[in-house]
Amino acid sequence: MANNTLSVGETLIAESFLTSTNNRFKLLVQKDGNLVLYRLSTGFNGQEVMAAQWASDTWRETDPSATELTMQEDGDLVLFQSRPGREVAWSTKTGGRDSRDAYVMLNDNESSGPSPNLLAGIDVGKLIISGIVQGLSTIEGGWLITGIAGLIWPDLFDETPAAMRALEEGLKDFARDLIDQKSIETLRKKTRGLVDAYRQYDALSPGEDKAEWLNALLVWFATNREFYCDTDSPAKTLPYFVTMATMHLAVLRDRCYRYREITKREPNQHDLGGFKAGLEKAIAECSQMASVIRRDCMKWRLSQVQDGEEWTSVKSFGDSATTTKLSRNLIRWVTVEYQRQLDEVLAPTYHWDNFRYGTPEECKLVKRNVSILGGPWGDGSSTNMECWDDAEQYAKFGRITRIDLYSGNDVEGLEVWYGGHSSGLRGSASGTRHVLEIAPNESIVYFSGTAHLYVQGLKFFVRSDKNIGGGVNSENGGSPSDKDTFHMGHKDEGGHPDGLGCRLDYLYGVHNHRGGTGRGAIEQIGAVFHYTEKYNFEV
């Protein structure tokens, strides 16, 4: 059995799992009888962070050895439990024929995550960043364009470099109505001329001839800029924009700060002033185009979930609380997950400001917060449910400073404070009240719980010795339990907000006052965390 595949006749027992080849997803058979799909990421100090994306909702008190996931010969993937007696707890309902070659494969993508093609395109951006960081950390003897181009075009005689193919394939659907395929095809052909010019430049030793080919590169970028950086609609060539703009800025920077090394001649001060002014202008213009792309892509993607095919299924519920819940979930996915993917695509642009500096000591620290969307967990489908989303409170007042958790057998109420301001009581103030105060130098780094029809238990950790918990599986003041159906973050990451590990930003979900009973319920809950990527420039 491959790590990501379950073939006919093969079985996963409790605590066994499939892992996607890119290590981003895990399908786990839990000891509590649940089959759960988790998205994986890496937190501070390399700790694994798991966020549940889907569950079979087959939790029950059972012997861990009694749960099995089996790929049957009829093509049906079945989760068996002993209750007693071997019974089907869940299945894909794909059986009914001889399917001895059937298998289930955990792919590298999932509906709310990047596709494999997009991930490949994002990986090209990471390649570019590694070339930028290495180039900006070099005092002398190296040129920025050489490091970047060497990663993008490892074979200068390859008509269609793998990196550029990955960008085209990965981004063509990412903003499909904004990208103009005709312009992409034109630019692909024109790029061959750039590769030829760079090949000549790269092959020459410093001197007059190399200076001529440096000018040839600059002429190519100036002549073809309208194709890779359209002023009116820069997103139409998005697959090429970041790469071409980064290379253009790299050549301009090399002319500013490596002119003597490249040409073996002394530049006059007037020329150097012009070179610097040209670089500053290009950084500003390219950065403005990147901002336009961010704006246009977000506007387009929001229109897809508000008026497109994804909205059709939501409208089928009519004017109801379910419509509100589903529409908010779609919009939240765009504002958190799609925004994160867009930032990944444009990640090299965060480094452009440092191109204006000639030494590593001058370069500024580059920090980028990366958001992670978790959940929602719980059913959230009662007739009197109400949705909430604390994104606005977080944006307005800042970090979480206090949590009031009310619980009995289930979680009955929740009140979260952002910057000292309450976002309102969700559910009711019934049951036992648990209070967690978060100091100015602390953050919530771990969040877990149990959710089925309702949210039955919740736990919040600032660190291992400072936490609260309420409801089921929350014994010992919020200690983790094997029965938790979801968790995010890592409880050992400490609590300082300037750390690189996962930090809880805000919560969202569905609650119910259970009118007239004096008791409430949290029916569904989700969370948005973030972690920080940081790049230093060292000699």
Q: Are residues 128 and 78 in the same domain?
A: no
How many percent of the chain have pLDDT more than 90?
26
Specify the number of domains making up the chain. 3
Pick the range with the lowest mean pLDDT from 20-24, 497-501, 528-532: 497-501
pLDDT at 288: 95
pLDDT in tens, 96-117: 444 455 556 565 444 445 555 6
In a domain, 361, yes or no: no
351 and 430 share one domain: no
| Residue 359 to residue 375: CA distance in whole angstroms | 44
Other beta carbons within 10 Å of 531: 21
3-state secondary structure of 478: helix
Asked if residue 419 and residue 385 are part of one domain, the reply reads yes
Instruction: Centre a 10 Å sphere on the Cβ of residue 424 and count the other Cβ atoms it contains.
Output: 12
Boundary of a domain, candidates 327, 356, 385: 356
Domain ends where: 312, 331, 356? Answer: 356
**Domain with 35 in it:** 5-105
Residues 447 and 491 in one domain: yes
- CATH number for position 450: 2.100.10.30
Q: What is the pLDDT of residue 128?
A: 84
Task: Report yes or no on 244 lying in a domain.
Answer: yes
Please check whether residue 110 lies inside any domain of the structure.
Answer: no
Q: How many CA atoms lie within 13 A of 248 on its CB side?
A: 29
> Alpha-carbon distance 214 to 73, whole Å?
64
Please report which confidence band the pLDDT of residue 61 belongs to, taking 50, 70 and 90 as the band edges: low
The answer to whether position 481 is within a domain reads yes
pLDDT of residue 227: 84
pLDDT at 112: 44
- pLDDT above 90 (res 85): no
Each residue of 456-486: pLDDT tens digit? 999 999 988 899 999 886 654 444 455 688 8
Share of the chain above pLDDT 70, in %: 77
Once rounded to an integer, what is the mean pLDDT over residues 431-460? 91
pLDDT digits 0-9 by tens, 195-231: 888 888 888 888 889 889 999 999 999 998 888 888 8
Contact 26, 38 (CB under 8 A): yes
- Of the ranges 33-37, 170-174, 260-264, the best mean pLDDT one: 260-264
pTM: 0.73
Q: What is the mean pLDDT of residues 244-260?
A: 92
